[in-house]
Amino acid sequence: MRPTYLEVNLSQLKQNLDNIRAKVAPAKVLVVLKANAYGHGVDGVAPFIAPFSDYIGVAIVEEGIHLRKMGITKPILVMGGTLREQLPDFFEHDLTLAASSLDLLAAADQLAESTRKRIKVHLKIDTGMERIGVREYEAEPLIEKSLACSQFMKVEGIFTHFANSEVMSLRGDALSPKQSPNLQEIASGEIQERPRNDIVKSSLQLERFQEVLSIYEKLSEPHPAIRHMANSGATLSLPESYYDMVRPGVLFYGVYPARNIKKTIEVKPAMTWKSRVVFSKVTQPGRAVSYGSLWQPEAESRIATVPCGYADGYFRRITNQGRVVINGKSYPQVGRVCMDQFMVNIGMDDVRVGDEVTLMGGGIAPEELADWVGTNEYEVMTNISARVPRVFVGGVQ
């Protein structure tokens, strides 16, 4: 096997899910497996975690098809935008459609009736994200159409998505539904730990979604079986948004969606990015290292080469900023990060070819890599390329 690989602890993922479930009960938990399970490797994560999940979420129809071909039988919601010509895939592979427009809902219903095949849909309401979905003030026609659909279409749920929930760091313990902040409390300054504008936006989205649910309940009894809104940030900070199901993404993988959000649920990262030293030599002062000659040692130093580069997802922008751990000690990355390799300044320590190198995990958090690059943890994890083997431990080999 290639010496650069990603170790994924399945037992830790299960523990994270258990902790989330304990917090949000009796709400169900949708596990988000999009983007190759946030870089963790969906082929290993999905078969292990699916039996413990209530629902699975993906971004695109191809991800849902891939899970079905793997033998995953749990309900799968395709949460992203869908073109009309993709609708047959939903019927063929028993995927749940996010009905993000009146036209898409009508097209799905027409296809269901003409083929006499069944499809499940969740109505997508845009309460402030401005990405996909029907705005809350335009939702009534969508609701009316959903109630008039053929017997082959089941409107199973209704949902929306927060734009700013990860910045909601509320004073004290997480608020219960009855304690959720209203606009008057925010305006008065009682909630001060984050910019009030961000909290206003999240609370306003919650109010808008509740208004849409009220419309639905007036037009139909009972209301949809599954109402869902809470992503990772809201799962931590806004219990009133739990409704019938929550959708933890990055939180399930053990990473908090913001640095200063209150950690009301204990989770830990499940991935460790490892490699091994493949070359080591002593470099003299003044001898520049790597492309562009951006770094050179001031004194005689041992330089170790690690077989990982920006083609693997170790960003070129990490150049002269990063660090790795070898034999329990932290060392700086030096010189330009190459496509397939990068170098580390060992000083004059005894580091040998074959020694293990930790790029992430083991004291190097995803947040730290994100800071070196000027991005977020999501991009760091999902950017790890497919040519980096995933090794799954703790649950199945």
- Phi/psi at 37 (5° precision): 55, 50
Give me 334's structure tokens. Answer: 């030096």
Q: 247 near 230, Cβ under 8 Å?
A: yes
Query: How, if at all, do strands 96-99 and 76-78 pair?
Result: parallel
Residue 16 identity (one-letter amino acid): N
Helix%, strand%, coil% for the chain, nearest 5: 35, 20, 40
Contact between 185 and 256 (Cβ < 8 Å): no
List 282's β-bridge partners, or say none.
Answer: 302
Helix (H, G, I), strand (E, B) or coil at 60: coil
Q: Give the 3-state secondary structure of residue 107.
A: helix
- Catalytic residue annotation: 34, 291
Residue with tokens 């033998």: 71
**Assigned token pair, 273:** 């990015």
List the alpha helices (DSSP H) in the chain: 10-24, 34-38, 42-49, 61-69, 87-92, 102-115, 139-147, 183-188, 196-219, 232-237, 366-373, 377-382
Handedness of CA 226, 229, 233, 237 (dihedral sign): negative
H helix or E strand, kind and range, residue 123: strand 119-126
User: Beta 301-306 vs 279-283: how paired, if at all?
Assistant: antiparallel
